[in-house]
Amino acid sequence: MNVFATLFAVAGPLIMLSPEPGQATTVEEDMVWTGGLRHAYFGDRPISQSDDMIVLKAPNRADDAAIVPISITAQIPQTDEQYIQTIYLFIDKNPGPLIGKFHFTPRSGRADLAFRVRVNAYSPIRAIAETNDGSLYMSRRFIKATGGCSAPAGSDLDAAMTRLGKMKLRTNAMSPVAEPMAAQLMISHPNLSGMQMDQVTQLYAPAHFVRHVKVSFDGEEVFSAETGFGISENPSFRFYFVPEGEGELSAEVTDTNDLHFMQTLQVAPAVSQDLVQN
Amino acid sequence: MPSIQHKFIAGSKLTIQLFCILFVDSGSSLAAPAACSAPAHVVQVASGVFVRPGHPAVVFEGQEIANIGFVVGDLCVAVVDTGASLAEGQALDCAIREVTDLPVCYVFNTHVHPDHMLGNSAFQRPGVEFVAHEKLPRALALRGDIYLERAAAHEGRVLDESIFVFPERTVTGIVELDIGGRVLTVRAHNTAHTDHDLSIIDKSTNTVFLGDLVFLEHLPVIDGSINGWISELDDLSGASFETVIPGHGPVSAPWPSAAGASLQYLSTLRQTVRAWIADGGDLASAQASIDQPDSGDWLLIDHYHRRNVGAAYAELEWED
């Protein structure tokens, strides 16, 4: 009855042969990907499966299916000659497998990214980097959803709705001028996948989630994203940008109800800042 | 101190387990069986108030996890939580028949978690009204599909939506219900363990079913709000209950001291996570680094502590 028990029984012997310890893969695990997802998004384009371009970090076990922290670390700096322009994140077994597309520019400095996702079931999770010459590189991990009472839904929907659209933008700027500076954008939003009409309870909630994020420094884009409901409630994005001097970091967010939210932060490199507004 | 009278009713644990294997979730047609072959073992914790002891385990990885029970009035019986499966609900129903011929009139669900309410369908029959917090239906609608998937993935249990019984009556604030000779005070709480916790006080014995508002032995699990939970436990600590039935742990416990362990765990966690956020630490590093406090002999730390750190972090990062 337990399909996962069968799956792991198969995976066992392969662990010894895997080039990446702890990242044994099986044909069964990847069936959603090979059976349609890959071709739907990338056709026959070659994808190099290695951690040479980006490294995806995800917990082996999702402690809370609603908030699973993941990060992607770029292995090359962003230069005008060579840079990562897009990172795709897929969780094969989620209702919407493409969690988001994240765009970077040479002004990003580093195409590093951290955020939180919902994980519905045991599933491969894969980050695919597309460089400016059109090459594709994939870093793949596997997440086990834990047992327990947690569900991908948020725990206090009313609290999230009350704060809808509140944003925090911060940098921990000890970094010198012209060096990549770490930044975080937080958006208070329920990021609802929507509920089905239930005949008994008559409950229905349409999907309502953040679908576009754009962050600019002095009017020039440094990070943007197209996102779905696989991003956790109250989305939080950590990323980098390169301030050439003092300037304004601004974030624009649009959700599926066409609500727009904005937040700005004055940034001066080499000065510590932790400014919270709204 | 409440006097605890142990009342053992026919049927060993082994019999119940066999019953579970044979009949677990094999269809709603088995609800309200004509013959009761496997009553649950229940303990009388106050006059007319019975509890089926639970044993700490991860949801969907065990049976009989939560403390569930019932109160016998002069007119009818009120059930508080129904267990993790149809079979558990049926065994509780059998235990009621061993005690009284009176019909069940109310089934209260203290919250949506599967170890407390997947036995509901055992009581789905004319004359039984299901009662829950006003926000429980939404929580169940958001989680139902996932619970079905988890049951299949972790236990090989094939369930369908008939296992979920939505409340016919929902509670906001406080409602009093008379079951004949005794009045039950049913209270819908602010967001705490979940956003829809319900407690039931039997006024005649001053006994309260607190559901998962208080944990003993089993590590508290945050699925609502750490701030709300601490505040709710602080408020409840001012009450002078004679007997408290926690959702997990012993079938009854002294009050307010029984709240102490949960309060201490939650308060220490809040303090640590707040400091982590103030230092700019991210969620992943908080979950990897913040150990459970030394105090307390909690069970299931490995399963739920990291989850609690995450839930606390996600809430507390919006505090300022």
Which residues of B fall within a CB distance of 8 Å from A117? Answer: none
Our CA-based measurement puts residue A20 at a distance from the nearest CA of chain B, in whole angstroms, of 22
Residue B297 confidence (pLDDT): 87
Q: Is residue B5 part of a domain?
A: no
DSSP string, chain A: --HHHHHHHHHHHHGGG-SSTT----TTTTHHIIIIIHHHHHTT--EEESSSSEEEE--SEESSTT-EEEEEEESS---SSS-EEEEEEEETTSSS-EEEEEEE-GGGSS--EEEEE---SSEEEEEEEEETTS-EEEEEEEEEEP-SS--SS-S-HHHHHHTTT-EEEEE---PPTTS-EEEEEEE----B--B---TTT---B--B-EEEEEEEETTEEEEEEEE-TTBPSS-EEEEEE--SSSEEEEEEEEETT--EEEEEEEE-TTS-------
Average pLDDT, chain A: 84
Residue B292 confidence (pLDDT): 76
Number of structural domains (chain B) is 1
Q: Which region among A34-38, A161-165, B152-156, B309-313 has the lowest average model confidence (pLDDT)? A: B152-156
Where helices occur in chain B by DSSP H, the ranges are 13-23, 86-99, 114-117, 136-155, 226-237, 259-278, 283-289, 301-316
pLDDT band at A173; cut points 50, 70, 90? low
Please state, in angstroms and rounded to a whole number, the distance separating the CA atoms of residues A33 and A122. 14
At position A150, the amino acid (one-letter code) is S
Predicted structure pTM score? 0.85
The reply to whether B166 touches chain A by the CB within 8 Å rule is: yes
Residues in chain B predicted with pLDDT less than 70, given as ranges, are 1-35, 294-296
Which residues of A fall within a CB distance of 8 Å from B225? Answer: 155-156, 159
Nearest CA in chain B to A120: B146
Residue B49 confidence (pLDDT): 98
Percentage above 90 pLDDT, chain A? 61
Q: Is residue B1 part of a domain?
A: no
pLDDT band at A194; cut points 50, 70, 90? confident
Residue B233 confidence (pLDDT): 98
Residue A62 confidence (pLDDT): 84
Residue A207 confidence (pLDDT): 85
Which CATH number does the domain housing residue B80 bear?
3.60.15.10
**Under a CB-based contact definition with an 8 Å cutoff, are residues A101 and A225 in contact?**
yes
pLDDT at A226 over 80: yes
The reply to whether A144 touches chain B by the CB within 8 Å rule is: no
Residue A196 confidence (pLDDT): 55
Q: Is residue B4 part of a domain?
A: no
Q: What is the mean pLDDT of residues A46-63?
A: 93
Going A160 to A163 to A165 to A168, the CA torsion angle's sign is negative
The ipTM of this complex is: 0.83
pLDDT at A87 over 70: yes
Q: Is residue B196 part of a domain?
A: yes
Query: A231: phi > 0 → left, psi -120 to 50 → alpha, else beta; which?
Result: beta
Residue B161 confidence (pLDDT): 86
Are B283 and A146 within 8 A, CB to CB?
Answer: no
Please state, in angstroms and rounded to a whole number, the distance separating the CA atoms of residues B313 and A55. 25
pLDDT at A91 over 70: yes
pLDDT at A2 over 80: no
Nearest CA in chain B to A67: B310
More confident residue, A155 or A10: A155
What is residue B191's DSSP assignment? S
Domain boundaries, chain A: 27-267
Which of the four CATH numbers 2.60.40.2470, 3.40.50.720, 3.40.50.1980, 1.10.490.20 does domain A27-267 have?
A: 2.60.40.2470
The reply to whether A75 touches chain B by the CB within 8 Å rule is: no
pLDDT at A104 over 80: yes
Please state, in angstroms and rounded to a whole number, the distance separating the CA atoms of residues A68 and A59. 8
Domain limits for position B245: 13-316
Percentage above 70 pLDDT, chain A? 79
More confident residue, B22 or A103: A103
